[in-house]
Amino acid sequence: DIQLTQSPSSMSASLGDRVSLTCQSSQGIGNYLSWYQHKPGKPPKPMIYYATNLADGVPSRFSGSRSGSDYSLTISSLESEDTAIYYCLQYDEYPWTFGGGTKLELK
């Protein structure tokens, strides 16, 4: 199975900070990587698909990028509503696999 390693596993940042979360794939997956935001009591919310494309309704402060097998989700200016666990998912090869998640909190 393809392993996705997310870092950091948790972090805290201040309002207005630029935040970058990373996801490293154990093998090539092209751009078949998506990001999800998960808050307690709600379903995961799609944020980014195909590595760099913003999902419908997602604020423009979110962006996705790729450098080789490293993928990033960046929040340009952190807002309080962005606190959540963020997961990456590869959908290049079955079984689809998720990263372990990054818990983002406010400092």
Partner 1 sequence: EIQLQESGPGLVKPSQSLSLTCSVTGYTITSGYDWSWIRKFPGNKMEWMGYISYSGSTNYNPSLKSRISITRDTSKNQFFLQLNSVTTEDTATYYCARDTTDYSFDYWGQGVMVTVSS
Binding residues for partner 1, rule: CB under 8 A, are: 34, 36, 38, 42-46, 49-50, 55, 85, 87, 89, 91, 94-98, 100-101, 103
Shortest distance, position 16 Cβ to partner 1, whole Å: 27
Strands 62-67, 10-13: pairing kind: unpaired
Nearer of residues 53 and 77 to partner 1, judged by Cβ: 53
Distance CA 49, CA 28 (A): 16
Tokens of 57: 């309704």
Which residue, 41 or 68, has its beta carbon nearer to partner 1?
Answer: 41
Phi then psi dihedrals of residue 49, to 5 deg: -130, 160
**Residue among 15 and 93 whose Cβ is closer to partner 1:** 93
Six token digits for residue 63: 């962006």
